[in-house]
Amino acid sequence: MTEPLASTTDIPRAELIDLYRTMVLIRKTEEQLVLCVEAGQVPGGCHTYIGQEAVATGISAHLAREDVIFSTHRGHGHALAKGVEPGPLIAELFGKATGVSQGRGGSMHLFAPEVGLLGTSGIVAPSILQATGAGYSFKLLKKPNVAVGYFGDGASNNGAFHEGLNL
């Protein structure tokens, strides 16, 4: 029988549990969303974040409320990790006025500035330049804030990726 691995982290247990809870919240919300999509209850396209929960959870755990994120067509997990409540997120996907974007954004155009989510997009790679611009504005304004641009592997083959790196 093998010995259990020694802990390789200095993260307090309570914080680890909070991170785990966020990942489970994202997974369970997305799983319920899949059921709604399969039942034909969600209008428009819908791309889930299942299997990527740790990315948004880990990044958002280090962001302040005033820090901003820009996301992709798979932005539900980013939104939840940044502080959007599941109810308003799901209401948005159902096209309800109680949604985070008053039912106008749907799955791929979420907007919740009150928690620092400044937009998601169905287009590949705009989040890179949006975050670059926001970060540059923070620098010019001498603000300590952070701007995060989430993107997938397809975005690294896009001009916006290289333009963002150059800035």
Segment 136-143 shows an average pLDDT of: 98
Number of DSSP helices (H) and strands (E) in the chain, helices first: 6, 3
Taking alpha carbons only, the member of 56, 85, 86, 52 closest to residue 71 is: 56
pLDDT confidence of residue 45: 87
Would you state the torsion angle of the CA atoms of residues 101, 103, 109, 112, taken in this order, to the nearest 10 degrees? 20
Q: Where are the domains of the chain?
A: 13-166
Q: Answer whether residue 5 shows pLDDT above 90.
A: no
Q: What is the mean pLDDT of residues 78-104?
A: 97
How far is residue 99 from each of residues 66, 76, 105, measured CA to CA in Å? 21, 13, 9
The mean pLDDT value for 25-29 works out to: 99
pLDDT class of 167 with cuts at 50, 70, 90? confident
Class of domain 13-166: alpha beta
Check pLDDT > 70 for residue 69.
yes
Residue 82: per-residue pLDDT: 98
pLDDT at residue 4 tops 80: no
Task: Quote the pLDDT of residue 6.
Answer: 63
Q: Assess whether pLDDT exceeds 90 at residue 155.
A: yes
